[in-house]
Chains A and B, each alone.
Chain A
Amino acid sequence: MSEVEEVEILLAEDSATDAEVTQRALKKANIGNPLLWVKDGAEALDFLHHRGRYAGRASARPRLVLLDLKMPKVDGIEVLRDIRATPALQTLPVVMLTSSSEESDVVRSYALGVNSYIVKPVESQKVFEEIARLGYYWLIMNRPPS
């Protein structure tokens, strides 16, 4: 599965429509970095730790993790906590991409070391604009630790 090994963006999102919108928005902004969409936090952690479905696949770590907050099984906060607690993943850029504008969620995410917190707007035009900007910033402008 060479495509898995090339993953540069890990998108954890339980809503298929939201995932599709995000992918389309990135594609429209000409950000063609290979993206893997996982449906919950458990699968995201399986991918990052090379276990379960992703066992034995020595993929390089992604350049960016986009996390939804509310997901079945393991939610975004738990994934974030796990990433920051794992030495090999500690410096991984993680962006919360969520519908929740609750202050408590923002504070909790930053306390756990999130790199950015984006509230997805309802209005589609803005969604497309913001995701394009997000991709541009994190994948083109930003220099992550290697």
Chain B
Amino acid sequence: MKILARKLVSRLSIEDAVTVAFIAALVLMCMVTLLAWYSVTHFIQSTHWVDHTHIVLETVEHAKASSDEALSVAQEFVITGDPTSMAGRDRAITDLQSSLHDLGTLTADNSAQQERLAIVNSHAVARIEFMNAVILARQTGGFEVAQRLIASGQSRGQVNQLRDLLDAMAGEERSLLRQRLLADELSQRRLIGACGALLAVVILIVGLGLFRLRRELHLRQKLADRLERKTIELQTSNKELESFSYSVSHDLRSPLRAIDSFALMLQEDYAAKLDDEGRRYIAVVRDGAQQMGRLIDDLLAFSRLGREPIDALNINPRLGAERAVREVLAAYTGTAPQILVHELPSACGDAVLLHHVWVNLIANAVKYSSKIAAPRIEIGGCIQGSEAVYFVKDNGAGFDMRYADKLFRVFQRLHGANEFPGSGVGLAIVQRVIGRHGGRVWGEGKPDHGAKFFFTLPQAAFV
């Protein structure tokens, strides 16, 4: 369970983890609030019960006092025979009756108390009757008769029984209150415990969330710092590269041009004074200088295409491919191959940079199919998921798939310069430009059965 939870937590993204922790903490806090509300309600109920018990106890005492009062009034009358004391007796009896009625209402929910009260009531009735009999005896028979009736002992026992019964009712109420308070205390303790536990869980969740968040922020800050350092390093090396390629473009090309131009001048002005071997030497010098010039130009293009910022827009690749076809054919001196440009899916990219991709792929296709009888080049594409896939296919010299991974490296060539001329930079340029667009490049081929080069472009903006 614990491992599962940890797995779940570590698999969740930081955004999801924080959301889950926040919702869990919120739900738990709601539960704590509900419990607290429940606890307070319960507490108010308990105080009601305490009040109720006190009222019952008071009423019991009142009943006891009324019954005693009634008895003492009766006794006073027996001794004095004074009829005015009779008013006190009536009041005491009314009080007793009203107290007993109140008790009946107060203990309506308790059947045991109701049974007791029934007995109390019957005793009270009997007692009132007895007192009435005593009073009657005093009035008709005089003090002696009444005295004898009282002495018969009936009265004393009744008084004690009534008191005991009322005490028992009071005792029952007290013990009920005690039980209720005990139960309340227990449930209160449980509630407090539950609230405490929930709060502890909330604190744990919030704490863990905070810890995770802090760690994430720390990590992100570290990453941002690293990125900034790398960016500065990259900018520095880019600047160095820029000044390097500037020197290359100016300082290396100038002496090369001198070599080629003066070799040409030698050829033009002194060809007659040289023999065939001498003239061949000059030709070799010029070939070498020109080859090196092309290498420098291609390398500079490669370097520049890696540094220029990408301006990605929605493009129409078919227009780009057709423009490249026209450009390649204009520079081609051999017999033009058959070139078929299919409908191409639209994509997002930098038209200027992608022009180099089309030109290099199409120029390669034209070059490597130049030695066969019916050269045919096909350009097509389709949508695959979120990418557009394009291809340039020819039926020319092809290549061995064993060396497929070398194709895209700078200066790597699978054919000799005397077989097919080239600097070995074209496909490296293709890969660099497509890589900067977030796409992929790959080639399929078979010796003497043509080659097919693919590249992908994102369909939506990527920068």
Seen from chain A, the residues whose Cβ lies within 8 Å of a Cβ on chain B are 15, 17-18, 21, 24, 69-70, 98-103, 120-125, 127-128
- Which residues of B in the span 371-396 have a Cβ within 8 Å of any Cβ on A? none
- Which B residues lie within 8 Å of A102 (CB)? 245-246, 249
Seen from chain B, the residues whose Cβ lies within 8 Å of a Cβ on chain A are 245-246, 249-250, 253-254, 256-258, 260-265, 286, 289-290, 292-294, 296-297, 300, 304, 308
Contact B261 A21 (CB under 8 A): yes
- Which A residues lie within 8 Å of B290 (CB)? 122-123
Contact A122 B293 (CB under 8 A): yes
Q: Known A-B contacts: A17-B257, A100-B250, A120-B253. Give 20 more (CB < 8 A).
A: A18-B258, A24-B265, A69-B250, A99-B257, A100-B249, A101-B249, A102-B245, A102-B249, A103-B304, A121-B257, A121-B293, A122-B257, A122-B289, A122-B292, A122-B293, A122-B294, A124-B260, A124-B261, A124-B263, A127-B261
Contact A123 B293 (CB under 8 A): yes
Contact B286 A124 (CB under 8 A): yes
Closest partner residue, chain A, to B308 (CB atom): A103
Asked whether A125 and B264 contact (CB < 8 A) given A69-B250, A99-B253, the answer is yes
Closest approach, in angstroms, between the C-beta of A20 and any C-beta of chain B? 8
Specify which of B256, B258, B304 is in contact with A21 (CB 8 Å cutoff): B258
Asked whether A99 and B249 contact (CB < 8 A) given A24-B265, A122-B297, A124-B263, the answer is yes
- Which A residues lie within 8 Å of B289 (CB)? 122
- Which B residues lie within 8 Å of A121 (CB)? 257, 293
Closest approach, in angstroms, between the C-beta of A121 and any C-beta of chain B? 8
- Roughly how many angstroms separate A42 CA and B354 CA in the complex, as a whole number? 42
Asked whether A120 and B246 contact (CB < 8 A) given A17-B262, A24-B265, A125-B264, the answer is no
- Roughly how many angstroms separate A19 CA and B426 CA in the complex, as a whole number? 33
Main secondary structure of the interface of B (DSSP, over half): helix
Closest partner residue, chain A, to B258 (CB atom): A17
- Which B residues lie within 8 Å of A101 (CB)? 249, 297, 300
- Roughly how many angstroms separate A27 CA and B305 CA in the complex, as a whole number? 38
- Which A residues lie within 8 Å of B265 (CB)? 21, 24
Contact A17 B261 (CB under 8 A): yes
- Which A residues lie within 8 Å of B256 (CB)? 122
Asked whether A18 and B257 contact (CB < 8 A) given A101-B300, A124-B286, the answer is yes
- Which A residues lie within 8 Å of B297 (CB)? 101, 122
Closest approach, in angstroms, between the C-beta of A5 and any C-beta of chain B? 30
Closest partner residue, chain A, to B252 (CB atom): A99
Contact A122 B250 (CB under 8 A): no
Contact B261 A99 (CB under 8 A): no
Contact A122 B253 (CB under 8 A): yes
Asked whether A120 and B300 contact (CB < 8 A) given A100-B246, A102-B246, the answer is no
- Which A residues lie within 8 Å of B257 (CB)? 17-18, 21, 99, 120-122, 124, 127
A-B CB contact pairs (8 Å), 22 listed: A17-B258, A18-B258, A21-B257, A21-B258, A70-B250, A99-B257, A100-B246, A100-B250, A101-B249, A102-B245, A103-B304, A103-B308, A121-B257, A122-B260, A122-B290, A122-B294, A123-B290, A123-B293, A124-B257, A124-B263, A127-B257, A128-B264
- Which A residues lie within 8 Å of B249 (CB)? 99-102
- Roughly how many angstroms separate A23 CA and B262 CA in the complex, as a whole number? 13
- Roughly how many angstroms separate A69 CA and B264 CA in the complex, as a whole number? 25
Closest approach, in angstroms, between the C-beta of A109 and any C-beta of chain B? 14
Contact A15 B261 (CB under 8 A): no
Closest partner residue, chain A, to B253 (CB atom): A99
- Which A residues lie within 8 Å of B246 (CB)? 100, 102
Contact A99 B254 (CB under 8 A): yes
- Which B residues lie within 8 Å of A24 (CB)? 265
In order of increasing CB-CB distance, the 7 nearest A-B pairs are: A122-B293, A17-B258, A124-B264, A124-B261, A124-B260, A21-B261, A99-B253
- Which B residues lie within 8 Å of A125 (CB)? 264
- Which A residues lie within 8 Å of B304 (CB)? 103
- Roughly how many angstroms separate A125 CA and B304 CA in the complex, as a whole number? 26
- Roughly how many angstroms separate A70 CA and B250 CA in the complex, as a whole number? 8
Closest approach, in angstroms, between the C-beta of A82 and any C-beta of chain B? 21
Closest approach, in angstroms, between the C-beta of B66 and any C-beta of chain A? 117
- Which A residues lie within 8 Å of B245 (CB)? 102
- Roughly how many angstroms separate A102 CA and B254 CA in the complex, as a whole number? 15
- Which A residues lie within 8 Å of B250 (CB)? 69-70, 98-100
Interface centre among B246, B253, B257, B265 (most CB of A within 10 A): B257
- Roughly how many angstroms separate A21 CA and B254 CA in the complex, as a whole number? 11
Closest approach, in angstroms, between the C-beta of B33 and any C-beta of chain A? 68
- Roughly how many angstroms separate A124 CA and B255 CA in the complex, as a whole number? 12
Closest approach, in angstroms, between the C-beta of B280 and any C-beta of chain A? 17
- Roughly how many angstroms separate A128 CA and B293 CA in the complex, as a whole number? 16
- Roughly how many angstroms separate A70 CA and B249 CA in the complex, as a whole number? 11
Contact B260 A123 (CB under 8 A): yes
Closest approach, in angstroms, between the C-beta of A118 and any C-beta of chain B? 13
Closest partner residue, chain B, to A98 (CB atom): B250
Closest approach, in angstroms, between the C-beta of A24 and any C-beta of chain B? 7
- Which B residues lie within 8 Å of A122 (CB)? 253, 256-257, 260, 289-290, 292-294, 296-297
